[in-house]
Amino acid sequence: MEVSISPVTAADVEAIATLARLVWQDTYPGIISQEQIDYMLAQRYQPPLLREELTSPHIWWDQLTVDGQLAGFVSCLLTATAGEMKLDKLYVDPRRQRLGIGARLVDQVVARALAAGCQTLILAVNKGNERAIAAYRKQGFAIRESVCVDIGCGFVMDDFIMVRPLSAGAAGS
């Protein structure tokens, strides 16, 4: 089994968007409505938007393949707070979850954060997403606060903000 992590390229965005829908449909029914799933996927995974993000110097997208097949992806970005990186998206193919792929992708973000001189990694996760909260706790994140953000069209993101302090040598820990 050959596992490889590489930056997402413009040629990959359709496959990323397809995997995003697959994972969202496996994860969010029962947590948010189908209308909100469709709304958020349309907001976040339009190929032109993804291609634009790939050109930003403050946003990083990485993908993990197993034997050449896309199995997961992660994105992270610098926030307005100095020294802080946000793990913005982390999605693993449901058929390949609980095999350590999520952990590998978090390690990749930790490496990117350290390379960018960051001391803190943050993320937002839906309060009902117990699977992800458990995975993030295992990765050293702790809940800092509860937020409810209006994302338009009558939808809200009812999230926990989770934080992981970083230190040199944190990658892979």
Give contact residues for ligand COA (rule: CB under 6 A). 23, 27, 90-92, 97-103, 125, 129, 131-132, 134-135, 138
Distances (CA, A) of 95 to 24, 88, 101, 136, 165: 13, 22, 11, 19, 31
Q: By C-beta, is 114 or 135 nearer to ligand COA?
A: 135
Check if the beta carbon of residue 136 is closer than 8 Å to that of residue 123.
yes
For the bound state, the minimum distance from the C-beta of residue 126 to ligand COA, rounded and expressed in Å, comes to 7
Q: By C-beta, is 90 or 166 nearer to ligand COA?
A: 90
Helix, coil or strand: residue 118: coil
Q: By C-beta, is 12 or 159 nearer to ligand COA?
A: 159
Determine how β-strand 155-165 pairs with β-strand 3-7: unpaired
Check if the beta carbon of residue 112 is closer than 8 Å to that of residue 76.
yes
Q: By C-beta, is 120 or 129 nearer to ligand COA?
A: 129
Check if the beta carbon of residue 93 is closer than 8 Å to that of residue 72.
yes
Order the strands of the 84-92 sheet from edge to edge: 3-7, 59-66, 69-78, 84-92, 120-126, 155-165, 142-152
For the bound state, the minimum distance from the C-beta of residue 88 to ligand COA, rounded and expressed in Å, comes to 9
Residue whose C-beta lies closest to ligand COA = 102
For the bound state, the minimum distance from the C-beta of residue 22 to ligand COA, rounded and expressed in Å, comes to 10
Among residues 78, 154, 150, which one has the least CA distance to residue 116?
Answer: 78
Check if the beta carbon of residue 120 is closer than 8 Å to that of residue 112.
no
For the bound state, the minimum distance from the C-beta of residue 101 to ligand COA, rounded and expressed in Å, comes to 4
For the bound state, the minimum distance from the C-beta of residue 90 to ligand COA, rounded and expressed in Å, comes to 5
Q: By C-beta, is 50 or 90 nearer to ligand COA?
A: 90
